[in-house]
Amino acid sequence: MQEKYIKINNLQVSEKLSNFVNDELLKNTNVSSENFWSGLEKTLDELAPKNKELIKFREDLQKKIDDWHIKNKGKEFNLDEYKKFLLEIGYLKNEGPNFKIETENVDEEIASIAGPQLVVPIMNARYALNAANARWMSLYDSLYGTDVIEQSEDSVSERYDPLRGEMVIKYGRDFLDKYFPLAGLSWNKITSFAVKYGKLKVLKGADIFDLEDENKFVGQQAQLEQYSHFQEFCYLSMDIIICRVQIY
């Protein structure tokens, strides 16, 4: 079925896109449909010529590179000469002096909330699960799925590697000892934990211990007011990094 377009100001817009923007995207916002489309038109008018210039520059670069390879076909490849050629045509640039960039009005999700991303094949269920867990920053799952701990043949397969799991737990608890130390106890020796009156309480048997810096505990998943086995999640803050720690 042929796509239907409608005229909005000087733009030709897909009717499906128009309906989505007007009926869903702008819903419950303070942006009117008129302001959105006029703003988009202004942006396109400003950036379209620049985009055409960049595309032309890219095409010219590609032609020069193609011509170089055709001209040098069959010759022994010289990396230094090739780099010199790429610098001459502007594909590569000489490294400049050190510099700093200041930014303003950056969303918290980018500026101060750590959110690691993993790109994985969706066909591998464990990899996909690790990617989701990494976005929520599960310390154990993130460690298991990366090369922070040396990988074995089993650790890169779809099978769970119990030995790697033990290494992950040890590494994770050593990490907690280093960055979120307990007052008078190692994370390697805890037996249970709870959240009481908004504070993390860690137990070894009947003995109760606190974080050395209680400000590093920033929250938890579920309402934990009773002492718990290792099935819940606590959230610890290291500067701007939030680690989700599964204790089991």
* Residue 114 resides in a domain: no
pLDDT value of residue 70: 95
Give the chain's domain count.
2
Same domain membership, residue 10 and residue 72: yes
pLDDT digits (tens, 9 = 90+) for 49-95: 999 999 999 999 999 999 999 999 999 999 999 999 999 999 999 98
Same domain membership, residue 132 and residue 70: no
148 contacts 171 by C-beta, under 8 angstroms: yes
Q: What is the helix (H) or strand (E) element at residue 219, kind and residue range? A: strand 217-221
Q: Which domain holds residue 230?
A: 125-246
Q: How far apart are CA 197 and CA 211, in angstroms?
A: 14
Same domain membership, residue 242 and residue 165: yes
Same domain membership, residue 72 and residue 137: no
φ, ψ for residue 79, nearest 5 deg: -65, -40
pLDDT value of residue 156: 53
Determine if the pTM surpasses 0.85.
no
Mapping DSSP onto H, E and C, the string for 125-181 reads HHHHHHHHHHHCCEHHHHHHCCCCCCCCCCCCCCCCCHHHHHHHHHHHHHHHHHHCC
pLDDT value of residue 157: 56
> Strand 217-221 to strand 5-8: parallel, antiparallel, or no bridges (unpaired)?
unpaired
Q: What is the mean pLDDT, run by run of 10 residues, along the chain of 248 residues? A: 87 93 90 94 94 95 95 92 94 90 79 66 72 63 76 61 84 88 90 79 87 81 46 43 39
Q: Which CATH number characterizes residue 146's domain?
A: 2.170.170.11
Same domain membership, residue 149 and residue 61: no
pLDDT value of residue 130: 66
* Residue 204 resides in a domain: yes
Same domain membership, residue 153 and residue 53: no
Helix, strand, or coil here: 9?
coil
Same domain membership, residue 161 and residue 237: yes
